[in-house]
Amino acid sequence: MPPAFGDDRPVASPRSATTADGILRWLRATQPEAVTHAEKNPKGTILAPPTTRAEAVERALGMLQKPGRPYERYAPGPLIGKGGMGRVFAAEERLLGREVALKALNARFGGTHAIKKLLQEAWVTGSLEHPGVVPIHDVVLGADGRPAIVMKRIQGAPGGKLLHDREARFKHLGEEVDALDWNLGVLLQVCQAVRYAHDRGIVHRDLKPDNVMVGRYGEVHVVDWGLAVALEDDGTGRFPLASDAVAMAGTPCYMAPEMLGGEESRIGKATDVYLLGALLHEIVLGQAPHAGDGILAMVTSIMQPERPLPDDLPEEVRQLLSKALAFAPEQRFEDGGAFRRALEELLRHQGSRRLAERAAVRAATLAARTAAPDVDSGEVQELWSEAAFGYRAALEAWPGNAEARAGLRDAADVVARFELGRDDPAAALRVLASIDEPPDARVREAEDALAASEARRDDLERLGRDHDPRIGIRARAGVSALIVGIWTLVPLQLYLSGATGTFGRMRTGAAVLLATLAGASLLAGPVLSSTFFNRAFVQALAGVVTVQLLLALAAESLGLDPTQAQVVMLGLYASATAVGSATFDRRLTLAAVGYALAFVAGALWPAEVYLWITLGNATLLVTLLVANGALERRRPRRKRPPPPGDP
């Protein structure tokens, strides 16, 4: 809350006024020249009366009048600047041949008051050895007998000229720069100089764009320390004290409330913090905080308990300005260093926001392309990488950037949906796992899709294994060689012995084959029962032999001739191997042809039926051996470990 000022009648103390109008009446009564100055030039500095002790001034003037400090060592040049009391000339230091600047009093300011002010500025500025403060080289007596300050000449332009003028910045710097970034960078350097002064116990009291000099190469100097005051008395009497600063002083359109003056001084580090906030206000909003028409409007603005700020101002900027421009000094940042840290944090956040904004452009392109029918996975991955990189860079600069975190999450969700649409849930989960706090619903969807995909893959693997003829090939080769070998050797022996066919031999042969097949299947059971292909193989052999047995029984029951029944059996074998060629292996076509020829031969020469059976079975045996050999060559070989000592 603003201090209580009483009624609005003209009084001797500002504590007795409650409105800006009352304060203004008090100022007109006590400081008419200051009010007149403020009305004419609201951006001009209102000077405060000097508080330096008289003995300190007399001692300084005595030192200046001693021999050995002649003004003639400096060759004055043209006027390069002027202020309320002083003028600044370019000059040359004759001994060293270097350019310097001479600050001397205007001709109309010749009294002790003006001399005190000039010496105060020299003492304060000379006590601040910092890159952001113009170095004081010397103080000499001018030709008119008054002191002049010799300082480093700054080749630069005032910040007030460069703040809003794009062309002036370009002409001064020789390059195009982002106005906001550049101005904030200048303000950071101003904060460093102010922080140093605060650490030395000095308050500037007149921070404004025109009191900031910017060099061509980016160097920044805070100038015009004529209103500066010391927070503590060093005992020399040279420095004006903040406790004595009870009169209105400073630049009206930037003033902190306590700079209007009062019975007791409230000037402190927080006063400069307010002025730094006023500089930020002008950088961000384009005008000083108290840019009203007329002195009454400015005083009214200065005395507002809360600084009005535009609704569309970013919240973080609003909070920083509100704290820096708080009415009560104790509610502001502690000093220039604290304000600088807050501003640096704001700039880091601003940089993070810009990175996130650029990433958002890539993310928008990503979302659009994933919806397009002609997009490929490579393009999506490239866009995702670019967007994710930008968002992660933004979060690295500022982990609290909620927009960047949400943008990264949304972009990952877009890519996950795309990968799920391509039936690649593993890729979707990899993308989701690469971010913090991925969307739970999408993760569950991808996990369910992956589980279903793995189940389908397992089913396909089982199906492929069930139908893989390479599994159990040796067991099948052994069983088939045994069965077909017996099948071939027995009719050959009968043919060579001249035996004739009987139904008993047919039944016995079928029974022996079934028993042999059963025994071999038991010995190789785990292998021959492990896949559908092996089970079908065993069932096919058993089926053929069983049909042979049933055919023999049916033929005997019908009273057919055994030889004729065996010829019919060759037709059965031809049909069975033909079916096997179509379902198991095309190489069985050779056996089918062999049996078909044996069947025809048997029909023509039935007396030689055992020969035809032998030849047909031999063709089957050769076919099975060739087929199993080919499968054996195609079977993957297990890698053996290298012998000890091999690399």
Nearest partner of 103 among 174, 55, 152, 69, judged by Cα: 152
| Alpha-carbon radius of gyration of the chain | 52
Q: Which of 206, 210, 224, 335 is catalytic?
A: 206
- Per DSSP, the three-state class of 213 is strand
At 567, give phi and psi (nearest 5°). -65, -40
Number of other residues whose CB lies within 10 A of the CB of residue 374: 6
Name the helix (H) or strand (E) containing 230: strand 229-230
Using CA atoms, how far residue 296 sits from 22, 139, 291, 292, 303, in Å, is 10, 40, 11, 8, 11
List Cβ<8 Å contacts ≥24 apart for 408-413.
Answer: 408/359, 408/435, 409/435, 409/437, 409/438, 409/439, 410/363, 411/359, 411/363, 411/366, 411/367, 411/384, 411/387, 412/384, 412/388, 412/438, 413/438, 413/439, 413/442
Nearest to 52 by CA among 183, 241, 194: 241
- Positive or negative, the CA dihedral 326, 327, 330, 336 is positive
Long-range pairs for 587-592: beta carbons < 8 A, 24 or more residues apart: 587/623, 587/626, 587/627, 587/630, 588/623, 588/627, 590/619, 590/622, 590/623, 591/616, 591/619, 591/620, 591/623, 591/624
3-state secondary structure of 215: strand
Contact assessment for residue 188 and residue 344, using Cβ atoms and an 8 Å cutoff? yes
For residue 492, the tally of other CB atoms under 10 A from its CB is 16
DSSP 8-class letter at 609: H
Asked if 215 and 155 touch (Cβ cutoff 8 Å), the reply is yes
3-state secondary structure (DSSP) of residue 239:
coil
Q: What share of the chain is helix, strand, coil (3-state, %, to 5)?
A: 60, 10, 30
Nearest to 479 by CA among 516, 435, 515: 516
**Phi and psi, residue 205, nearest 5°:** 80, -5
**Sequence-ordered list of residues with C-beta below 8 angstroms from that of 473, at least 6 positions apart, any chain:** 628, 631, 632, 635
Tokens found for residue 21: 């109008």
- Look-up: residue for tokens 């421009």? 325
Tell me whether residue 206 is one of the annotated catalytic residues: yes
Distance CA 223, CA 124 (A): 11
Alpha helices (runs of H) in 498-608, residue ranges in sequence order? 503-523, 525-528, 532-558, 562-583, 588-604
Please check whether residue 296 is in contact with residue 245, taking contact to mean a CB–CB distance below 8 angstroms: no
**DSSP code of 241?**
B
**Token pair 């010829």 is at which residue?**
567
Task: Catalogue the active-site residues.
Answer: 206
